[in-house]
């Protein structure tokens, strides 16, 4: 079985994620901020599931049109309630749903949004797992604390750290280079971070996405995933919120 994962650029800097199971042809899309680019990318117009990490418009703006065009079933966390599009599968943390031969497990990741979840897609065999992290975990960053607390975000980061190190991290935005500028102020001597910045600069210069990254790489470079306690994460988040570098 091969689980194909593809980033679909949406809006100004969003990514929807397209997952296709080669064995069954099952297609899932995560966080379609707009419908047109997603519909254009679907294999033979097929979409079986729409996974939703949280309610913000740049992550759900294309859901209704995508569902109308394909008959896809929606998947999300009932804690988001009426703020999400209508859900066909309301899953709580720890629940899972099949994507063909793979399985997506819901992880509780509040902090950015009250009912934010991530999806840990477990691929069988030797395939690498996939983390659809929405706006909880970015490449070299984390989401702003719009509806939650530093305590919640710290616990979210700790949950994500427990996943297999080679897990592919698929966030909702292309924020790597802007996050890198802040990360370098936190750990200017971090050689892994320096190498990651050079890699990301080359990727963007070539017109390529900087994601997916890996959990192992984020643990080595991401100042929020590397925070040792709530106080450290909170201080870094406050500093990032006003950073203009």
Residues involved in catalysis? 54, 56, 58-59, 112, 135, 173
What is the distance between the alpha carbons of residues 179 and 245, in angstroms, rounded to a whole number?
10
What is the distance between the alpha carbons of residues 11 and 31, in angstroms, rounded to a whole number?
12
Q: How many CB atoms lie within 10 A of CB 243?
A: 13
Query: Would the annotation count 112 as a binding residue?
Result: yes
Cα angle 28-209-70, degrees, rounded to a multiple of 5: 25
Query: What's the token pair of residue 97?
Result: 């749903």
18, 118, 140, 116: which is closest to 3 by C-alpha? 18
Phi, psi at 168, each rounded to 5°: -80, 125
Query: What's the token pair of residue 125?
Result: 């065999």
Query: Would the annotation count 59 as a binding residue?
Result: yes
Phi, psi at 228, each rounded to 5°: -85, -15
Query: Would the annotation count 56 as a binding residue?
Result: yes
Which residue positions form the known binding site for Zn(2+)?
54, 56, 58-59, 112, 135, 173
State the binding site. Answer: 54, 56, 58-59, 112, 135, 173
């Amino acid at each position: 079985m091969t689980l194909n994962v593809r980033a679909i650029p949406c809006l100004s800097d969003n990514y929807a994620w397209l997952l296709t199971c080669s064995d069954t042809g099952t297609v899932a899309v995560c966080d379609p901020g707009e419908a047109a680019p997603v519909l254009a990318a679907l294999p033979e117009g097929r979409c079986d599931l729409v996974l939703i990490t949280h309610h913000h418009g740049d992550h759900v703006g294309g859901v209704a049109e995508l569902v109308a065009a394909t008959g896809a079933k929606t998947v999300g966390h009932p804690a988001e309630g009426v703020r999400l599009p209508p859900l066909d599968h309301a899953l709580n943390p720890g629940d899972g749903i099949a994507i063909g031969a793979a399985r997506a497990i819901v992880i509780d990741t509040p902090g950015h949004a009250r009912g934010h979840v991530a999806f840990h897609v477990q691929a069988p065999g030797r395939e690498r797992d996939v983390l659809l992290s929405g706006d909880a975990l970015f490449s070299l960053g984390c989401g702003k604390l719009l509806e939650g607390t530093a305590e919640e975000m710290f616990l979210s980061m700790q949950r994500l750290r427990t996943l297999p190190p080679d897990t592919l991290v698929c966030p909702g935005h292309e924020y790597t280079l802007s996050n890198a500028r802040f990360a370098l102020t936190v750990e200017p001597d971090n050689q892994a971070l320096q190498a990651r910045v050079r890699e990301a600069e080359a990727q963007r210069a070539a017109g390529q996405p900087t994601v997916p990254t890996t959990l192992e790489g984020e643990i080595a470079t991401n100042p929020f995933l590397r925070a040792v306690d709530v106080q450290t994460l909170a201080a870094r988040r406050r500093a990032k919120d006003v950073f203009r570098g």
